[in-house]
Structure 1
Amino acid sequence: MVRFENVGLRYGMGAEILRDLSFVIAPQSFQFLTGPSGAGKTTLLRLILLALRPTRGLITLFGEDSATLDKSALMALRRKVGVVFQDFRLLDHLTTYQNVALPLRVLGKEEPSYRAEVLELLEWVGLGQRLHAHPQVLSGGEKQRAAIARALIMRPELLLADEPTGNVDPVMARRLLRLFQELHKSGTSVVIATHDLNLMDQFDGARRLVLGDGRLHIYD
């Protein structure tokens, strides 16, 4: 699903901030991406999404060489990826319901075909009573949950989540983790970037990708 071969990244003429990254994310796999603050976890997620181009090395996404993709092919691949960003990226002029449904609307789907699914997902993440609220009046935790619901509504083949439980209480964090587990069981590959050891300890057998000093260490 994802393959990195000797990937390095630098900005300008500076030293490489990530170097010699070689790993594979297999279909239907579950892994945590961890490491100290500033290690480059968000940067690595952006490389996986192809929102950043590597300075060197090869990145393959769904079997396609990223270096050869034109814009339309790149957009088609990204539609297979769900992303939960740390800054949420909700649209202020849309309600919670509209934000979550937006990826389906962009694909041209009519509301009757997806309304029940969006409502069910919002209930699951605890936003069933916030359908008509705009992001400006949502708490940080509510925005986080709306962003997660939006990423999941497309049933992605690959989910990238950047600190997805960082703004929610422990009870909701466990509930969201169950949602990620169910998504994984249904066939989605999941990559969760986090520094929360307690969170990772709840997933027996999950692979850990540990970033440090620009390099990646893998613990199966």
Structure 2
Amino acid sequence: MIRFDNVGVRYGLGEEVLSDLCFDIKPGTFQYLTGASGSGKTSLLRLLFLSLQPTRGNISIFGKNAQALDRTELPAIRRRIGIVFQDFRLLDHMTLYENVALPLRVRGYEEASYRRDVIDLIKWVGLADRIDAFPQVLSGGEQQRAAVARAIIDQPELLLADEPTGNLDPALARRLLRLFIELNRSGTSVVIATHDLSLMEQHSARRLVLESGRMEVYD
């Protein structure tokens, strides 16, 4: 699904923040991306989501050379990827329901075909009583769960999650982890960026460990 060959990234004239990355992500796999703060986790997620170009090396995604993609091809590739950002990026003028349903609306589906699925997922993440609320009145944890629901509603081929349980209590964190595991079992490849060791201990999976911009892979 994804292959990195000697990928490096630098911002401006500074030193590389990621260096000599060589790894792959196979279809239907689950992996944690971990490392200390500042180790390059967010930059790597941006590479995977094609919102950042490498300074050197090659990235292949869904069988295509990422650097050779035309701008017109990017939306179709990104629709195959679900992403949970640390800052959530919910749209303030839309209700929670409308935010979660947005990926399906963008694809042109009729609401009647997805309304029940959206409502069921919102209930599953514990937000049934907030379904018509706007993001401004949601707590940080509620916004986080809404962002997760939006990322997975369309069962993407690849899910990227940047600290998805960071604002949640342990019980909710476990519940979301179970959701990610079930999504993975249905065929989605999952990459969770986290520094939460207790979360990683709950589900054994491959670890991509970044340290000072370099990666070690532990299968």
- Give the corresponding residue for 1:112: 112
Aligned-residue CA RMSD (Å): 0.6
- Give the corresponding residue for 1:73: 73
- Give the corresponding residue for 1:42: 42
Output aligned runs, 1:127-146, within 5 Å. Answer: 127-146=127-146
- The residue matched to 1:181 in structure 2 has which SS? helix
Q: Measure how far apart 1:106 and its partner are.
A: 1.1
- The residue matched to 1:94 in structure 2 has which SS? coil
Q: Is the 8 A contact 2:96 2:134 kept in 1?
A: yes
Q: What letter corresponds to residue 46 of structure 1 in structure 2? A: R
Matched, 1:16 2:35: no
- Give the corresponding residue for 1:214: 213
Superposed CA offset, 1:147-195 (max 9, x none): 0000001110000000000011111111101100000000000000000
Superposed CA offset, 1:133-156 (max 9, x none): 000100000000000000001110
Consecutive aligned runs of 4 or more in structure 1 exceeding 3 Å deviation: none
Q: Measure how far apart 1:68 and its partner are.
A: 1.2
- The residue matched to 2:4 in structure 1 has which SS? strand
Q: Measure how far apart 1:48 and its partner are.
A: 0.8
CA distance in 2, matches of 1:45, 1:21: 13
- 5+ residue gaps, structure 2, are none
- The residue matched to 2:174 in structure 1 has which SS? helix
CA distance in 2, matches of 1:218, 1:57: 18
Q: Is the 8 A contact 2:33 2:207 kept in 1?
A: yes
Q: Is the 8 A contact 2:40 2:212 kept in 1?
A: no
Q: Measure how far apart 1:216 and its partner are.
A: 0.5
- Give the corresponding residue for 2:187: 187
Q: What letter corresponds to residue 217 of structure 1 in structure 2? A: E
CA distance in 1, matches of 2:35, 2:167: 19
Q: Measure how far apart 1:83 and its partner are.
A: 0.1
Q: What letter corresponds to residue 112 of structure 2 in structure 1? A: P
Q: Measure how far apart 1:17 and its partner are.
A: 1.0
Work out the percentage of aligned pairs sharing the same amino acid. Answer: 67
- Give the corresponding residue for 2:201: 201
Q: Measure how far apart 1:75 and its partner are.
A: 1.3
- Give the corresponding residue for 1:151: 151
Relative to the length of structure 2, the TM-score reads: 0.99
Q: Measure how far apart 1:108 and its partner are.
A: 1.4
Superposed CA offset, 1:27-53 (max 9, x none): 000000000011110110000111000
Superposed CA offset, 1:58-86 (max 9, x none): 00111100111111212111100000000
CA distance in 1, matches of 2:181, 2:173: 12
CA distance in 1, matches of 2:178, 2:67: 36
- Give the corresponding residue for 1:83: 83
